[in-house]
């Protein structure tokens, strides 16, 4: 039987990190207990980010030059906060990643273990499968959940070649144990009493699940070098490990103090940490918990050393921007109405027919390159922009999403409508040629300058509140640790 396992991974954590003390100080008048519990930071989406945009960012980080996009046969998107209930989110993510249209896509939702479940399904399905998990969960202002949660995404590419970790075995159990839940009509989770959830749920369901897997795989608990117990506190993880006979040293740090609990993405986010610290031959246990659980056992291969150069959670922790503006956090999450002025009084309807015709430009950032004079341009048009050429119908598609760029000119407009004032836009110059006017994102006022380095990021363009439709586009952002990953063989055609 052909071995299956993990080929590569990628992670994404938003640049902005909210200081938890800012949350506690703003709500101390109503809930003074928060002050003592507020330590560290939690990752927060920008005004133009959601679980889908984060999924694209993590997916870009997971794609490698050695794995052509045309090799990918499936894409599973796991989340409890998908932007669309009846528009396949995974299909949109696949198009933003310029994956072939022949892939099989699926949305996996309904539980915090959906990311691990999607990973197990991809391993069992065969082919080269992409699994991406992301969550942007909200909590009631002033609640302990608001302190605990965070936003992030992680992606794992599975297959049968060049494995950094091979699949050993797995075990699953489904139990309708409700330590928390959220109905379709609700905005926030309803969380039950923590002690009951811990004693009757975590300490009952999880140890039996892990014991069953280790018995199937004929592996002793003492032989586990890395254990991912996501969505639990450090104390709860140690309690699980003790009941299973697992050494505390094997527990992967939960990142709650730096990022927060990132929901369905958290197990895969911590898996990137485990893979980057693993040595050849190490066993890695991955747990997904929620209404039962999924547990997967991997063994690191000799190629696991290559994981050191991949984009994992630790690589992103030092690229954050500390934010103490709690009101901005509430506005970004739609929890605090704010006057946007008369410019916001507009009909924001999307012409679906026009979007469909131009979706390669909008969703994939595909421009053109003139076959006569070799001039690249974005967007692609019938006539070449080179004034010395001006040839008609000579352009072939060329992807621009992966290209580095720099600021050619910019404007900070405090009068224009923006959900994170000022509105920043201008001309950017792509490496290798090409100029385009785009919106900037993730820059602070006064931070932009001519010549500043840029990269493109998939973000929310705007939201049609009347019809519940979100439009996405590519914006120019500060360069992070996300690599330029597309290769010439993966340039979209047609």
Which residue in this structure is represented by tokens 């811990």? 198
* Domain extents in the chain: 5-332, 342-490
**Distance between CA atoms of 45 and 14, rounded to whole angstroms?**
6
Residues in the chain: 494
Q: Which of 456, 448, 451, 453 is nearest to 476 (CA)?
A: 456
pTM: 0.93
Q: Which tokens go with 77?
A: 């998107």
**Distance between CA atoms of 156 and 63, rounded to whole angstroms?**
9
- CATH topology assigned to domain 5-332: Peroxisomal Thiolase; Chain A, domain 1 (3.40.47)
9: left (phi over 0), alpha (psi -120 to 50) or beta: beta
Burial status of residue 32 (CB atoms within 10 A of its CB: 0-12, 13-18, 19 or more): exposed
Q: Which of 238, 179, 254, 243 is nearest to 210 (CA)?
A: 243
Note down pLDDT in tens along the chain; length 494 residues: 689 999 999 999 999 999 999 999 999 999 998 998 899 999 999 999 999 999 999 999 998 665 667 789 999 999 999 999 999 999 999 999 999 999 999 999 999 999 999 999 999 998 999 999 999 999 999 999 999 999 999 999 999 999 999 999 999 999 998 888 899 889 999 888 888 888 888 888 999 999 999 999 999 999 999 999 998 888 899 999 999 999 999 999 999 999 999 999 999 999 999 999 999 999 999 999 999 999 999 999 999 999 999 999 999 998 899 999 999 999 999 999 888 777 777 777 888 888 888 899 999 999 999 999 999 999 999 999 999 999 999 999 999 999 999 999 999 999 998 889 999 999 999 999 999 999 999 999 999 999 999 999 999 998 888 888 999 999 999 998 754 444 334 444 33
């Amino acid at each position: 039987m052909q071995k299956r396992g993990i080929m590569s991974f990628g992670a994404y954590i938003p640049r902005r990190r909210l200081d938890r003390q800012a949350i506690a100080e703003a709500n101390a008048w109503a809930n003074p207990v928060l002050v003592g519990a507020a330590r560290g930071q939690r990752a927060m989406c920008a005004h133009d980010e959601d679980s889908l945009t984060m999924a694209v960012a993590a997916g870009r980080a997971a794609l490698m030059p050695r794995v052509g996009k045309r090799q990918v046969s499936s894409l599973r998107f796991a989340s409890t906060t998908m932007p669309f209930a009846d528009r396949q989110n995974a299909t949109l993510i696949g198009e933003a990643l310029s994956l072939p249209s022949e892939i099989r896509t699926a949305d996996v939702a309904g539980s915090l273990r959906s990311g691990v479940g999607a990973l197990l399904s991809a391993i069992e399905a065969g082919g080269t499968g992409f699994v991406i998990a992301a969550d942007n969960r909200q909590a009631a202002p002033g609640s302990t959940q608001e302190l605990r949660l965070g936003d992030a995404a992680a992606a794992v590419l599975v297959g049968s070649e060049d494995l950094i970790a091979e699949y050993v075995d797995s075990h699953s159990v489904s139990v309708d144990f409700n330590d928390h839940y959220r109905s379709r009509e609700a905005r926030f989770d309803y969380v039950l009493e923590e002690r009951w959830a811990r004693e009757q749920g975590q300490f009952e369901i999880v140890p039996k699940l892990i014991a069953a897997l280790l018995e199937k795989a004929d592996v002793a608990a003492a032989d586990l070098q890395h254990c991912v117990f996501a969505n639990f506190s450090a104390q709860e993880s140690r309690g699980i490990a003790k009941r299973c006979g697992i050494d505390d040293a094997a527990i992967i740090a939960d990142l709650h103090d730096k990022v927060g609990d990132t929901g369905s993405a958290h197990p895969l986010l911590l898996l990137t940490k485990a893979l980057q610290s693993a040595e050849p031959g190490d066993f890695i246990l991955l747990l997904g918990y929620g209404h039962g659980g999924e547990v997967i056992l991997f063994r690191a291969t000799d190629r696991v050393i290559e994981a050191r150069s991949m984009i994992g959670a630790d690589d992103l922790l030092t690229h954050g921007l500390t934010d103490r503006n709690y009101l901005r956090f509430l506005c970004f999450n739609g929890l605090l109405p704010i006057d946007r002025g008369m410019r916001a009084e507009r009909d924001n309807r999307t012409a679906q027919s026009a979007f469909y015709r131009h979706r390669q430009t909008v969703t994939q950032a595909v421009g053109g390159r003139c076959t006569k004079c070799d001039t690249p341009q974005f967007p692609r048009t019938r006539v070449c922009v080179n004034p010395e050429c001006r040839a008609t119908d000579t352009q072939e598609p060329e992807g621009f999403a992966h290209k580095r760029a720099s600021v050619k000119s910019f404007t900070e407009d405090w009068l224009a409508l923006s959900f994170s004032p000022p509105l920043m836009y201008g001309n950017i110059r792509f490496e290798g040629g090409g100029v385009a006017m785009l919106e900037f994102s993730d820059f602070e006022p006064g931070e932009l300058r001519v010549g500043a380095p840029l990269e493109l990021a998939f973000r929310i363009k705007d939201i049609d509140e009347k019809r519940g439709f979100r439009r996405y586009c590519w914006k120019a952002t500060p360069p992070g640790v996300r690599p330029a990953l597309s290769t010439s063989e993966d340039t979209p055609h047609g």
